[in-house]
Amino acid sequence: LGVWALLGAGSTGWLRSPRAMQGFNRCMALLLLGSTWLGVLT
């Protein structure tokens, strides 16, 4: 979870455009959803 927070905080430096930030957020949301489902299924 700490790595997740660091990724979010560090991403603002190199994701200047709103479009890139939206894509990054979508990617992170899918990653979180996938890891949650993996935790539920195992």
pTM of the predicted model as reported, rounded to 2 decimal places: 0.60
Cα–Cα distance, 39 to 16 (Å, whole number): 33
Cα–Cα distance, 40 to 36 (Å, whole number): 6
Instruction: Quote the domain boundaries for residue 12.
Output: 2-41
Residue, of 9 and 41, whose pLDDT is higher: 41
Count: domains in the chain? 1
Of the pLDDT bands very low, low, confident and very high (cuts 50, 70, 90), residue 1 is: low
Cα–Cα distance, 30 to 22 (Å, whole number): 12
Cα–Cα distance, 40 to 6 (Å, whole number): 25
- Greatest Cα-to-Cα distance within the chain, rounded to the nearest angstrom: 38
